[in-house]
Structure 1
């Protein structure tokens, strides 16, 4: 993301993280345990068969978007690997060209040696020296002859090594091309799956009337409220619900970048500057803080150091669902920032509003 756009967003939103957390708190999404003498009153319960049916629709839509999220991760991983393989192929191609140029140069030099011997009638230099009858000439010439023979042997050895390297480079390039093609097919398959799941979810939503869609959003918030409240009341976080130690300088930078994107749309496969998917947001936030992290939520979970949920601090990444198909960034006070799904924008939400798989710490 360019600095000018980032600066405008940061200035226009100012203390966006503070405001967003306050708003979420006001909506009772981030209710901390022990703040009142009794449990907070739950939102109005859905009633009637119509509401129950709508809730089932909500669950179906959520399931479809979760499948789309998993497929997006597969697409992003294949794309990331393909980019690495393309770079490797370019390096191998350069090595092959350099190897071919060196082989041609060595062949030219060896050819020059052969032509020089031909011009002397094919008589070996050692024989010519012996027939000269001049001992001093013989001694001087013998030394030069040994040097010349050593040089020719060195060129022949280098030629053999270069030819072997060239064969290895060619084999490696062929292998990388095969991997690249396999990843291209995986990308295409994942892309089709993403579009299929999103289209199915959008089709379900399109069948609803405006009033039903509004109620659907209410049901979604109610479910997040229940999950967040239960999570906080479980004592999942230390320090009265604030979490572990204070953030590092890098963590603060990452949080600042992520919260500056609040309001940007979710677009699958996007990594900025104006739209993001979940792992695209966390990756770019930590890149802005000077730390490279893997592209997908599953790779972030697999490769980054894990920390206890109770010890997480701002900047840590929260991985959700058993298949690690969603990721968010912890911002403190029981809240996280994330790019939720298609049709939604980057937003602040309760860190426990979805099932947590674990927490990783980029730096």
Structure 2
């Protein structure tokens, strides 16, 4: 649920991500009855406003409606409820709250200590400092969220949430939508030929020409086994954008949330909507480097306890994707020894088998609010694997402890 701090008789909400509201409402089955609430409307102990709890683009059923979190007199905080403005009959309390909130924000922007005029005693310095830092963090995360959504080129929205600590946006991370080749590496993103099918689902389409079967069924779910490459229609094909063989190239269709984990795994990614099994979720993109450069960077990343290298060894072992500094949402997806995402190699415009695109598909139905994970040592894409430079016998590498918590956990990421 949302996090907040009391500031005297009123309180200021430190909002979390979209989707918390629905979860909060579902979890509070023992809240006061409608009659209890109507009888208590003039006796609030505190009211909190939730700002930007849902984007207008997100269809959750709450857009364009202002909700307040209400603490009911005589009831514990576990029974707090979200109420639309139309339910409130306490203009004086609302006016007081608005005044206190504006005063609070004004002082935060000026970097001053936060102490309401009508509070009986000042907050301890450490608490006041924490509130100011949390407010500044919220502003920084909101700006980063706006940046991510400006940069993305897909339908799904990106949200950011941190209810765990004071960590802000990563300072040295740049959002990209496709591979970024390192100097000296060329990626040809212009197809040399395409199909002339009138019905790619039934015709002799691009996959057949490549010697494989069509990867998708009529529900746009993947039907091939891991290890089989995906060949989608490209810009030279005569089929239109609704072709059933154009899935990965349309990008992420789901709204996702980059959130701070509470188990020591740093940032993670969760879905805000239900994802059906065998559905395309996202691509893994980053800087394309040589395997020799990957060996050098791998040693540094091992010492830092991070893993962002993904070998493109579908047929050869010449190139690696490094998502440490350049990447998309997949940069923040954590490892699990029992993942809900599976890796597939994809070819669309560029048919060079040394440079497949990396697509992540769901292995099962994923519930809204569930964290997305894939196995960093996953095999099955023509031996495509994350950080598989770990298999080099030339040096002894630092082993990174796995914190996935799965029953089948192997204990280490590498």
TM range (shorter): under 0.3
Task: Kindly indicate which of the two structures has a greater share of residues assigned to helix.
Answer: 1
Give the structure with the larger strand fraction.
2
TM-score by length of 2: 0.24
Larger RCO of the pair (alpha carbons < 8 Å, separation 6+): 1
